[in-house]
Amino acid sequence: MSMTEERPQRADARRNREAILRAARHIFAKDGSQAQMDDVAKRAKVGVGTVYRHFPTKEALFEALAVDKFDRLARFADEAMEIEDPWDSVVTFLKQAAAMHASDRALSEVFRDHGDFMVGTAQDCGLTDLGDRLVQRAQAAGVLRKDIRGSDLGMICCSLGDLGAVPVWSWERMLDIVLDGLRPDGTQSELSA
Amino acid sequence: MSMTEERPQRADARRNREAILRAARHIFAKDGSQAQMDDVAKRAKVGVGTVYRHFPTKEALFEALAVDKFDRLARFADEAMEIEDPWDSVVTFLKQAAAMHASDRALSEVFRDHGDFMVGTAQDCGLTDLGDRLVQRAQAAGVLRKDIRGSDLGMICCSLGDLGAVPVWSWERMLDIVLDGLRPDGTQSELSA
DNA sequence: GTGGAATCGGAACCTGAGTTCCGATTCCGC
DNA sequence: GCGGAATCGGAACTCAGGTTCCGATTCCAC
């Protein structure tokens, strides 16, 4: 079934592919999905045609990068699980994820504009499961309110995502408020579905 | 200095202007700033040329609507000040503002993409002051943590804004969490700047 | 009712950005 | 080295969507 055979590419092709990915990562992080293919090509020191040979469409390039990002998020979650203190591990993960959002405009846009794609990708790279585990561990230790679900971590990231765009506000401050809302103690309302 | 004299417009012109605004409100709420001028014209049952006579540019039309929205937000804040219970009044305002975001894609985009414009407009229509008053009243009554500023209300709205785009998540749930983070009691961290 | 000024409508124009195409160039097995 | 196949580069094409233009139409003062 697999159409993508591992045919050996020519050396220059492989080199260019890497250059394109590196350039695209930079340009998309800066300009979001509005970034232009010409700019990517220019930064990769390559013609536009070359970009299109490696990625048939702008959307394809964008997705390739997005999958990368989710893998990185999954790695963050993995590392966070290593932290002994369960609360710290949730906080650390959220901080890293949010910082990543803040430095990458494209990531926020994926979260906002491609909800279904995002859910699928998070599932595939194990991020969904890792999120659940992070949450359950903290709840078992009694340091996280019981009515939080793993998917709430994604929701929180998404909501912090676009704060980076407005210089007046800081996602760090917002995250602090949200974190206090996640604690098990204190007067609390009942969360809506 | 004022160039905008109140010259009486012809009846059909005034009628068309209203139709265009009504149509634009609907189309922009649905499609955000990606909305197309042709669609606005079609919905207003008017030619594109007519739209452009009333609003010299797409941007101008967009801004006219945005100012409207901020006036409405200011009215919400005003009404919220009438509520006796200071905590309720903050909650009510946030709920109304967030609901407005959820039903209006363009509003979220203004918050995200035109930060400075937004800050200026909020100032002009009195929303900034009203927010400060809402916050201070609640703090004086001891029902809102002391380290919250009026501008945090805007930040919260902004962060809730784009949750509406992803159907998996609900801004109501997120707002519940945030509200618990705003309460004065319970274990709390120190907010970052 | 009539004249002319204001307004309308929408085809045509223009620009920007994604994509294609093909001659030039580079790589690699012999 | 040589030959040809894979790859490159970037000018040119395409298409979508904002904006303009001007003949047709509508309104209002007289």
pLDDT tens for each residue of A36-61: 999 999 999 999 999 999 999 999 99
Query: Helix, strand, or coil here: B173?
Result: helix
Residue B191 has pLDDT above 60, yes or no: no
Is residue B148 in a domain? yes
Q: Judge if A52 and A67 occupy the same domain.
A: no
User: What's the whole-number average pLDDT of chain A?
Assistant: 90
The count of structural domains within chain B is 2
pLDDT at position A192: 55
Q: How far apart are CA A107 and CA A28, in angstroms?
A: 9
Is residue A187 in a domain? no
Give the domain CATH number at A20.
1.10.10.60
| A124 in B contact zone (CB under 8 Å) | no
Q: Judge if A96 and A150 occupy the same domain.
A: yes
Q: Judge if A98 and A166 occupy the same domain.
A: yes
pLDDT at position B186: 59
Q: Judge if A46 and A87 occupy the same domain.
A: no
Query: Helix, strand, or coil here: B190?
Result: coil
Predicted confidence band of residue B144 (pLDDT cuts 50, 70, 90): very high
pLDDT at position B13: 85
Q: A147 Cβ partners below 8 Å, 6+ apart?
A: A190, A191
User: Residue B32's Cα: distance from chain center in Å?
Assistant: 13
Q: Judge if B106 and B139 occupy the same domain.
A: yes
Q: Judge if B23 and B87 occupy the same domain.
A: no
Mean pLDDT of the region A79-106: 95
Residue A4 has pLDDT above 50, yes or no: no
Q: What residues of chain B lie within 8 A of the CB of A187, using their CB? A: 180, 183, 185-186
Residue A173 has pLDDT above 80, yes or no: yes
Is residue A192 in a domain? no
pLDDT at position B5: 43
Phi, psi for residue B135 in degrees, rounded to 5 = -65, -50
Give the domain CATH number at A67.
1.10.357
Is residue A85 in a domain? yes
Q: Judge if B83 and B128 occupy the same domain.
A: yes
Q: Judge if B149 and B126 occupy the same domain.
A: yes
Q: B53 Cβ partners below 8 Å, 6+ apart?
A: none
Token match 């602090």: residue?
A: A176
pLDDT in tens, B28-66: 999 999 999 999 999 999 999 999 999 999 999 999 999
Instruction: Write down how long chain A is.
Output: 193
User: To the nearest whole angstrom, how far is the Cα of A76 from the nearest Cα of chain B?
Assistant: 22
- 8 A C-beta contact, residue A137 and residue A86: yes
pLDDT in tens, B163-187: 877 888 889 999 999 999 988 875 5
pLDDT in tens, B89-130: 999 999 999 999 989 999 999 888 888 889 999 999 999 999
Half-sphere exposure of A166 (CA within 13 A, CB side): 31
Q: Judge if B72 and B18 occupy the same domain.
A: no
Q: How far apart are CA B113 and CA B120, in angstroms?
A: 14
- 8 A C-beta contact, residue A179 and residue B189: yes
Q: Judge if A34 and A74 occupy the same domain.
A: no
Residue B8 has pLDDT above 80, yes or no: no
Q: Judge if A83 and A21 occupy the same domain.
A: no
| A6 in B contact zone (CB under 8 Å) | no
Report the footprint of strand C: residues with C-beta closer than 7 angstroms.
A 10-12, 34-38, 48-49, 52, 56-59; B 9-10, 12-13, 16, 45-50, 52-54
Residue B192 has pLDDT above 70, yes or no: no
Q: Judge if B18 and B74 occupy the same domain.
A: no
Is residue B25 in a domain? yes
**Can you give the residue range of the structural domain that contains B156?**
65-182
Q: Indicate the helix (H) or strand (E) that contains A179.
A: helix A171-182
What single string gives the DSSP state of each residue in B144-171?
Answer: S-TT--THHHHHHHHHHHGGGGSTT--H
Predicted confidence band of residue B4 (pLDDT cuts 50, 70, 90): very low
**Do A115 and B165 lie within an 8 Å CB cutoff?**
yes
Q: What residues of chain B lie within 8 A of the CB of A167, using their CB? A: 115
Predicted confidence band of residue A111 (pLDDT cuts 50, 70, 90): confident
Å separating the CA of residue A97 from the C1' of nucleotide C25: 44
